[in-house]
């Protein structure tokens, strides 16, 4: 589950206030929260796209993406090369299920070549030996190139992933650039300590790059997950082998090429596309990879961790699944709470690891909330993500599409009340109706499992102690949302929740400096902020005797 120019522009607008104190940045749409506000206005003003009309969607003429596919080979040691086997695999347009391009299918031999290049670049190359300031300048040049090519990148991201173009262009690309500005700023500020010891010794604590970092990124936010992984690793002086998700390989290859245009030495960043059981497993188990970072499902995270432990015990950071509670207290402004809860769940087609997928609503306002949530979902604009005003595009692929529909069926069969939606939209592509269930119980699959789709489950609660206990009764602990006007209530709930992030009267605020990660089976380690640097550094103590020191 994930995205992030100044701090103000990246903060989501508090829905407790009727106006935004940073209106210039919010109108530019640079944060997920401000994106929520602008999208709500766009959908009502323009009405472009389709609202719950399968026949209309089927008749819709799709926009031809304004971008060419330029890079489909693996990038190893600064060169685009075919897979060692010569094999390719198709990558698809989720609007239609049709093939966009055929991409080099990396396997174990390709991973070996990429790791060898990264190893040589770290052990013998100039990247870790560069001054930190020089590394910083390359990261900044890269960010400038991304801005220059932002229109092509946004189109490519939407074409390969299915997310609304407005989201890609106005929110995710600016946040991507901001993340690299942030890590460029860190590059020359990473330093160790001098430690006083008992006795006549000079003690230095050095922070050194860890070496070759293996990174595996998911398909729901291909560009942003690239930034979350690559930014801190390069700032610390490491080299990288990155495996893309097989569903969305195109933008990572494009931006990796831009990195080399910015002056990144060959072998420092290598990108291999391929499948998890082949390329992913080879990277996770490789004996010459010094550190592994993975974002994806909890089940796959277990496999990655096992492979790492059975090989060379490389340290692993995991950002995994979630089933985040969104708690609406009895003092809530229902209209504002409905809009924020809608965004928390349906954003990015519901394909967010931190989506507010368990909507807990106090019993006193429950019926009103359900009625207004149903009406909001029915107004949601679904259609070609390249068209202005569209809020929701297709799910990523046929597998995820079928999974979402299975969970909807499960909700119906378990006697949850289907308020709206519940089926596909159109006859081609992977569009799902925005779906709302009420009268959901904690033991239903739709309340327990990570659906990763546009399915809102609304549960009723009576008091704060009860909702904290129920919110925590899950194997996940990634994020949560709390909607209340009472400061004491907010403090009580936020301290009680066992999650890595709690948003109060906002949701999906992903500033570059805010750490993100989970408790329990939602992962280990943190992305973004100062904490992400720790993932890519070794700590070395150097102790030297002192003779006749003037002081200790």
CATH number at residue 380: 3.40.309.10
Q: Is 319 a catalytic residue?
A: yes
Do 284 and 336 belong to one domain?
no
Characterize the bridge pairing of strands 291-295 and 79-81: unpaired
Our count of domains for the chain comes to 2
What pLDDT does 552 receive?
Answer: 87
Do 120 and 222 belong to one domain?
yes
Residue 48 lies in a domain: no
Length of the chain: 552
Contacts of residue 524, defined as CB under 8 A and 6 or more positions apart, other chains included, come to 316, 317, 318, 517, 518
What pLDDT does 28 receive?
Answer: 31
Residue 56 lies in a domain: no
Residue 178 lies in a domain: yes
CA dihedral 195, 514, 491, 364 (to 10 degrees): -160
Q: Which helix (H) or strand (E) holds 465?
A: helix 464-472
- Residue 543, token pair as written in the block: 């102790």
Which residues constitute the domain of residue 289? 74-320+528-538
List the chain pLDDT tens, one digit each, 552 residues. 433 322 222 223 232 333 333 323 333 333 555 444 444 433 332 333 445 544 456 567 899 999 999 999 999 999 999 999 999 999 999 999 999 999 999 999 999 999 999 999 999 999 999 999 999 999 999 999 999 999 999 999 999 999 999 999 999 999 999 999 999 999 999 999 999 999 999 999 999 999 999 999 999 999 999 999 999 999 999 999 999 999 999 999 999 999 999 999 999 999 999 999 999 999 999 999 999 999 999 999 999 999 999 999 999 999 999 999 999 999 999 999 999 999 999 999 999 999 999 999 999 999 999 999 999 999 999 999 999 999 999 999 999 999 999 999 999 999 999 999 999 999 999 999 999 999 999 999 999 999 999 999 999 999 999 999 999 999 999 999 999 999 999 999 999 999 999 999 999 999 999 999 999 999 999 999 999 999 999 999 999 999 999 998
Measured between alpha carbons, how far is 228 from 298 in angstroms, rounded to an integer?
18
Measured over the CA atoms of residue 17, residue 22, residue 23 and residue 29, the dihedral's sign is: negative
Do 143 and 287 belong to one domain?
yes
Query: One of 246, 319, 339, 419 is an active-site residue; which one?
Result: 319
Contacts of residue 521, defined as CB under 8 A and 6 or more positions apart, other chains included, come to 298, 320, 321, 475, 476, 477
Measured between alpha carbons, how far is 517 from 353 in angstroms, rounded to an integer?
10
DSSP 8-state symbol, 274: B
Residue 18 lies in a domain: no
DSSP string, 297-331: -HHHHHHHHHHHHHTT---EEEE-----EEEE-TT
Measured between alpha carbons, how far is 550 from 466 in angstroms, rounded to an integer?
63
Do 233 and 335 belong to one domain?
no
Strands laid side by side in the 358-362 sheet:
417-420, 435-438, 455-461, 358-362, 325-328, 479-483, 501-504
Residue 390 lies in a domain: yes
CB neighbourhood size of 334 (10 A): 17
Do 468 and 503 belong to one domain?
yes
Measured between alpha carbons, how far is 170 from 250 in angstroms, rounded to an integer?
19
pTM of the full structure: 0.90
Measured between alpha carbons, how far is 149 from 223 in angstroms, rounded to an integer?
13
CATH number of residue 170's parent domain: 3.40.605.10
Measured between alpha carbons, how far is 151 from 481 in angstroms, rounded to an integer?
33
Do 311 and 329 belong to one domain?
no
Backbone angles phi, psi at 327, to 5 degrees: -105, 120
What pLDDT does 56 receive?
Answer: 52
129-163 burial, b at 16+ Cβ within 10 Å, e below that, comes to ebebeebbbbbbbbbebbeebbebbbbbbbbbbbb
Of 144, 142, 147, 132, the closest CA to residue 259 belongs to: 142
Residue 28 lies in a domain: no
Residue 19 lies in a domain: no
Contact yes or no for 323/474 (Cβ under 8 A): yes
What pLDDT does 399 receive?
Answer: 97
Tell how far CA 185 is from the center of its chain.
22
Contact yes or no for 367/458 (Cβ under 8 A): no
Do 222 and 272 belong to one domain?
yes
What pLDDT does 478 receive?
Answer: 98
What are the angstrom distances between the C-alpha of 118 and each of 82, 216, 296, 372?
A: 18, 15, 24, 54
Of 525, 149, 180, 511, the closest CA to residue 320 belongs to: 525
What pLDDT does 24 receive?
Answer: 30
Do 95 and 215 belong to one domain?
yes
Write out the E strands in 376-496. 417-420, 424-425, 431-432, 435-438, 455-461, 479-483
Do 258 and 391 belong to one domain?
no
Beta partners for residue 102, in sequence order: 90
Under DSSP, is residue 491 helix (H, G, I), strand (E, B) or coil? helix
- Residue 184, token pair as written in the block: 């460029």
Do 312 and 390 belong to one domain?
no
- Residue 153, token pair as written in the block: 């990148």
What pLDDT does 60 receive?
Answer: 72
- Residue 136, token pair as written in the block: 């910083």
Contact yes or no for 12/29 (Cβ under 8 A): no
**132-148 helix and 150-161 helix, angle to the nearest 10 degrees:** 70
Contact yes or no for 281/214 (Cβ under 8 A): no
Residue 158 lies in a domain: yes
Contacts of residue 50, defined as CB under 8 A and 6 or more positions apart, other chains included, come to 56, 57, 60, 381, 382, 383, 425
Backbone angles phi, psi at 527, to 5 degrees: -100, 155
Of 251, 257, 229, the closest CA to residue 160 belongs to: 251
Measured between alpha carbons, how far is 122 from 234 in angstroms, rounded to an integer?
11
Do 295 and 334 belong to one domain?
no
Do 122 and 190 belong to one domain?
yes
CA dihedral 101, 102, 103, 108 (to 10 degrees): 160
- Residue 528, token pair as written in the block: 């973004």
């Amino acid at each position: 589950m994930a995205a992030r120019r100044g701090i103000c522009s990246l903060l989501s607008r508090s829905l407790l206030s009727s106006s935004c104190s940073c209106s210039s940045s919010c109108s530019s749409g640079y944060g997920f929260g401000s994106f929520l506000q602008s999208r709500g206005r766009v959908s009502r003003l323009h009405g472009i796209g389709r609202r719950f009309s399968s026949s209309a969607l089927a008749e819709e003429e799709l926009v031809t993406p304004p971008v060419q596919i330029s890079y489909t080979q693996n990038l190893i040691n600064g060169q685009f090369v075919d897979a060692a086997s010569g094999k390719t695999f198709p990558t698809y347009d989720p609007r239609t299920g049709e093939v966009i391009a055929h991409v080099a299918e990396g396997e174990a031999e390709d991973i070996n070549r990429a790791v060898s290049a990264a190893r040589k670049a770290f052990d013998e190359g100039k990247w870790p030996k560069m001054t930190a300031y020089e590394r910083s300048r390359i990261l900044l040049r890269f960010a400038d190139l991304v801005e220059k090519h932002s229109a092509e990148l946004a189109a490519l991201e939407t074409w390969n992933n299915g997310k609304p173009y407005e989201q890609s262009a106005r929110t995710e690309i600016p946040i991507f650039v901001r993340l690299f500005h942030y890590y460029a700023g860190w590059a020359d500020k990473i330093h160790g300590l001098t430690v006083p010891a008992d006795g006549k010794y000079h003690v230095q604590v050095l922070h050194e790059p860890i070496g070759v970092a293996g990174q595996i990124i998911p398909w729901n936010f291909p560009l942003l997950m690239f930034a979350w992984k690559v930014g801190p690793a390069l700032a610390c002086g490491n080299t990288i082998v990155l495996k893309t998700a097989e569903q969305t390989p195109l933008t990572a290859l494009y931006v990796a090429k831009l990195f080399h245009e910015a002056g990144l030495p060959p072998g420092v960043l290598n990108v291999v596309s391929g499948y998890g059981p082949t390329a992913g497993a080879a990277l996770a188990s490789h004996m010459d990879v010094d550190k592994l970072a993975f974002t994806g499902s909890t089940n796959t995270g277990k496999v990655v961790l096992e492979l790492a432990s059975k090989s060379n015990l490389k340290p692993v950071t995991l950002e995994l699944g979630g089933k985040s509670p969104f708690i609406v207290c009895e003092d809530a402004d229902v209209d504002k709470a409905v809009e924020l809860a809608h965004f928390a769940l349906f954003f990015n087609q519901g394909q967010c690891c931190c989506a507010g997928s368990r909507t807990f609503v106090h019993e006193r306002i429950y019926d009103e909330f359900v009625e207004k949530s149903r009406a909001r979902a029915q107004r949601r604009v679904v259609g070609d993500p390249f068209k202005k005003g569209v809020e929701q595009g297709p799910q990523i692929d046929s597998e995820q599409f079928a999974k979402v529909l299975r969970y909807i069926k499960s909700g119906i069969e378990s006697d949850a009340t289907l308020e709206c939606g519940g089926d596909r939209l159109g006859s081609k592509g992977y569009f799902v109706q925005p779906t709302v269930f009420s009268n959901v119980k904690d033991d239903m699959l739709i309340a327990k499992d990570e659906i990763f789709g546009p399915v809102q489950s609304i549960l009723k609660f009576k008091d704060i102690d009860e909702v904290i206990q129920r919110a925590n009764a899950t194997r996940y602990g990634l994020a949560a949302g709390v909607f209340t006007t009472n400061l004491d209530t907010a403090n009580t709930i936020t301290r009680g929740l066992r999650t890595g992030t709690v948003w109060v009267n906002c949701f999906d605020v992903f500033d570059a400096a805010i750490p993100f990660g989970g408790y329990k089976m939602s992962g280990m380690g943190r992305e973004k902020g100062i904490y992400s640097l720790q993932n890519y550094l070794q700590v070395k103590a150097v102790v030297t005797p002192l003779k006749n020191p003037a002081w200790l």
